[in-house]
C-alpha cells in the first residue's frame, strides 16, 4: 500500500488573503507616514523599522496564502449541473454556416464607383444642411 500525502488547506483561506491584504495596506500607510518618506531618504530606515517589518511579514503571508488559494482552486473539480427532474431535453437545430443569401461579387471598379457616389451624396447632404442654417 502506497502512502499518500494529504495537503491541508484551511476552509477560511480566502478570508486570510483578504485580511493579510488589508493589514498590508495599513502597514504601507504607516510606512508612508513615516520618517523615510517625510525626509525622502533611506537613512531613516531604523526609525521606520516597525512598519517595514510589518510590510515584509504581511506581504510574505499574503503571497503564501494567495498562492495556496490559487493552487487549491486549480485542482478543484467543477460541480456537475444536472437538469431538473421532468425537464425535456434540448434538441439542436441543423444550421448551415451563417445562412447568408448569395450575392454576386462586385468588381473593384464597381466598388470604387459606389464609394464615390456615397461620398458625393454625403457632401451634398452636408452642404444642404449648412445652407439651411
**68, 9 Cβ separation under 8 angstroms:** yes
Nearest Cα residue to 58 out of 14, 12, 26: 26
> Is a pLDDT exceeding 60 seen at residue 2?
no
Residues 6+ apart with CB under 8 A from 24: 55, 58, 59, 62
Helix (H) or strand (E) holding 45: none
| pTM tops 0.75, yes or no | no
Grid coordinates belonging to 23: 493589514
Higher pLDDT, 23 or 4: 23
pLDDT tens-digit series, residues 69-114: 788 777 666 666 666 666 666 666 666 565 666 666 778 888 899 9
**How many CB atoms within 10 Å of residue 18?**
13
Write the pLDDT tens digit of every residue in 85-97.
666 666 666 665 6
Give yes or no for residue 59 having a pLDDT over 80.
Answer: yes
CA distance 15 to 38: 33
Any alpha helices (H) in 76-107, and if so which ranges?
Answer: none
Residue 6: per-residue pLDDT: 59
Whether residue 36 contacts residue 49, with contact meaning beta carbons closer than 8 Å, is answered with no
Amino acid at each position: 500500500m502506497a502512502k499518500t500525502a494529504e495537503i491541508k488547506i484551511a476552509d477560511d483561506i480566502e478570508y486570510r488573503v483578504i485580511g493579510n491584504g488589508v493589514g498590508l495596506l495599513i502597514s504601507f500607510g504607516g510606512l508612508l507616514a513615516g520618517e523615510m518618506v517625510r525626509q525622502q531618504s533611506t537613512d531613516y530606515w531604523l526609525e521606520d523599522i516597525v512598519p517595514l517589518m510589518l510590510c515584509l511579514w504581511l506581504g510574505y503571508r499574503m503571497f503564501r496564502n494567495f498562492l495556496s488559494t490559487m493552487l487549491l482552486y486549480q485542482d478543484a473539480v467543477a460541480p456537475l449541473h444536472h437538469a431538473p427532474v421532468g425537464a425535456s431535453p434540448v434538441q439542436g437545430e441543423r444550421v448551415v454556416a451563417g445562412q447568408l443569401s448569395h450575392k454576386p461579387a462586385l468588381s473593384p471598379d464597381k466598388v470604387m464607383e459606389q464609394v464615390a457616389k456615397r461620398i458625393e451624396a454625403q457632401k451634398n447632404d452636408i452642404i444642404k444642411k449648412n445652407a439651411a442654417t
